């Protein structure tokens, strides 16, 4: 009788211990999953922060680029206005001028043609010459496209 009780008690004890052991194992496995999830979340947060930082940098770069292009387009408008002015300044009539001073106008037009061709070369990506870069006086610049040809020239206001 006493031995049967002992046996039952031993079985109960062993079952309890086994149950406790299994429970601990389950807890450990849950813990591992939770740790992995935590790690994933932390990684995701770090990555998100990196993405946000990059986005900020990108927006700044885009704004800067837009500003540059707007400046360029305004320069274009001014260049065209300056070209028109050269033809029509003080009611100038280039046809009449060419009749009166044929040789001089021919020289001016040919010089203008050379300058305009140089502007096209520069616009297509040609390197500036030293003289073009150093030009700061009106007499030294390429009047067809000073903003493009002579970056160091500051026009008189």
Residues in the site for another protein, rule: CB under 8 A? Answer: 3, 6-7, 10, 13-14, 17-18, 21-22, 24-25, 28-29, 31-32, 35-36, 39-40, 43, 47, 58, 61-62, 65, 68-69, 72-73, 76, 79-80, 83-84, 87, 93-95, 98-99, 102, 105-106, 109-110, 112-114, 116-117, 119-127, 144-145, 148
Query: Is the Cβ of residue 78 or residue 137 nearer to another protein in the bound state?
Result: 78
Q: Which is nearer to another protein, 46 or 137 (CB)?
A: 46
Helix, strand or coil for residue 84?
Answer: helix
Residues whose CB is less than 8 angstroms from the CB of residue 123 and which lie 6 or more positions away in sequence, other chains included: 145, 148
Other beta carbons less than 10 A from residue 140's beta carbon: 13
Nearer to another protein, 61 or 131 (CB): 61
Cβ nearer to another protein, comparing 135 with 142: 142
Pairwise CA distance, residues 13 & 98, whole Å: 120
Alpha helices by DSSP H, listed for 89-153, are 94-100, 102-123, 130-134, 146-149
Q: Could you give the C-alpha distances from 68 to 64, 83, 124, in angstroms and in order?
A: 6, 23, 18
Is 47 or 53 the residue whose CB approaches another protein more closely? 47
Least spacing, CB of residue 140 vs another protein, in Å: 20
Q: How far is the CB of 34 from another protein (least distance, A)?
A: 11
Cβ 134 to another protein shortest distance, Å: 20
Q: How far is Cα 4 from Cα 9, in angstroms, rounded to an integer?
A: 8
């Amino acid at each position: 009788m006493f031995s049967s009780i002992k046996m039952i008690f031993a079985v109960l004890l062993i079952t309890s211990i086994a149950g406790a052991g299994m429970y601990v194992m389950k807890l450990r496995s849950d813990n591992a999953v939770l740790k992995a999830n935590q790690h994933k979340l932390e990684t995701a947060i770090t990555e998100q922060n990196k993405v946000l930082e990059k986005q900020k940098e990108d927006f700044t770069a885009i704004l800067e680029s837009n500003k540059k292009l707007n400046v360029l387009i305004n320069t274009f408008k001014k260049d065209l206005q300056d070209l028109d002015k050269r033809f029509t300044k003080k009611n100038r009539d280039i046809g009449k001028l060419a009749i009166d001073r044929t040789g001089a106008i021919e020289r001016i037009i040919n010089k203008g043609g050379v300058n305009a061709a140089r502007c096209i070369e520069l616009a297509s990506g040609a390197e500036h010459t030293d003289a073009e870069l150093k030009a700061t006086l009106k007499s030294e610049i390429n009047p067809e496209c000073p903003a493009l040809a002579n970056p160091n020239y500051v026009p008189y206001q």
